[in-house]
Amino acid sequence: MNEAELAARVRNVTKTYRVGNLSVPAVRGVDLDIEKGAFLSLAGPSGSGKTTLLNLLGALDTATSGDIWIGGHSINGLSNKELADFRNTNLGFVFQTFNLVPVLTVIENAELPLQLRGMTDRDERRDKVEKILVEVGLGDLLDRRPNELSGGQQQRVAIARALVKNPTIVLADEPTANLDSETAREIMVLMQAMNEKFGTTFVFSTHDPLVMEYATRLVLLRDGKIESDERTEPVQNAI
């Protein structure tokens, strides 16, 4: 596949954790090309390395060996500060436990990435953030604190926070695991809609077969290796 059409390229990547003098190989030689606009589901049993691989793709951790490019940029050998800036510009994150900053309101949470990017014009920033928050259905809750929101609403904020900076990839580690099935479905529909509307690449991990149904591509991990990688026909807005 043409380099320019890739959101991410993973080559020969391994990750071995050291616990005391024990080595835990979590990712053991993964090659993966993720095309722009993909809606990719990482599946696999517990301990198969999904979170580890997502952390490597998200520049939240460094690989033991191998190379990773995001949007054509290698993230090998970047300093912590450079990695922070890289995440800020290129990567969006959605977490299983929502991970909003509790002391910030909905709109403040969502605008944080833009502030970190140095967008100092408050009106311009708020304009942009408000549009996305309306898009994810939170137009009326801008000034709420996270603890005043339901799980589904919190995850919508997280999605808005990830999308507001037009990232190359949004990485979502089990985004629906803490939600009831109905809310999980709503969140998947929302992510799918955003994927289609903005062409943003999504990579999410899940155990839930119902969630995998939304994927355009299903990658199965086992023991830190890719066992299968296939294109699938997603369900459409099965709401």
Partner 1 sequence: MPSEDLIAGKIGIGTTVRIAWRNLARSRRRTLLTASTVGFAVFLLEVLTALLIGIERQSFDNLINYQTAHAKVYAAGYFENRDELPLNFTLTSLDETEALIRAVEGVAATTSRLAFSAQLSDGVDQITSIGTGIRIRGSDSEVFRIKDAVVDGFYLEEGVEGMLLGVSLAEFFEVKSGDYLTVLLKTRDGAYEALDLEIIGLLGTGFPAIDRNGFLLPLEIAQEMLDTRGEATEIAIRFQPSAAETSVVRRLSAVLGDQSNLEIKTWKEVEEDFMALVEMKRTAQGVFLSIFVIMAIVGITNTIVMATYERTREIGTMMAMGFRPSGIRGLFLVEGALTGFVGGAIGTIVAMLVVGYFASTGIDLNALYGEIDIGYPIKDMMYPAMSMTLFLVSWVLTGILSAIASLYPATRASRLRPATALRYV
Q: Is 176 in the site for ligand ATP (CB under 6 A)?
A: no
Q: Considering only the stretches 15-23, 43-51, 61-69, 109-117, report the one whose residues sit in contact with Mg ion under the rule CB under 5 A.
A: 43-51
- For the bound state, the minimum distance from the C-beta of residue 232 to partner 1, rounded and expressed in Å, comes to 28
Distance between CA atoms of 66 and 48, rounded to whole angstroms? 18
Q: Which one of Mg ion, ligand ATP, partner 1, none is in contact with 41 (Cβ closer than 5 to 8 A by kind)?
A: none
* 147 binds, options partner 1, ligand ATP, Mg ion, none, Cβ within 5 to 8 A by partner type: none
Q: Is 142 in the site for partner 1 (CB under 8 A)?
A: no
Q: Does 48 bind ligand ATP (CB under 6 A)?
A: yes
CA distances from 116 to 3, 85, 111, 160 (A): 29, 8, 9, 16
CA–CA dist 95, 205 (Å, integer): 10
From the list 51, 90, 109, 176, which residue makes contact with Mg ion (rule: CB under 5 A)? 51
* Residue positions counted in the chain: 239
**Residues 144-163 contacting partner 1, CB under 8 A:** 161
82 contact partners, CB below 8 Å, separation of at least 6:
none
**Listed ranges 42-50, 64-72, 146-154, 193-201: which one lies at the site for ligand ATP (CB under 6 A):** 42-50
The Cα 189–Cα 193 span in angstroms is: 6
Which stretch, 43-51, 82-90, 132-140, 230-238, contacts ligand ATP (CB under 6 A)? 43-51
Q: What's the number of CA atoms in the CB half-sphere (13 Å) around residue 144?
A: 14
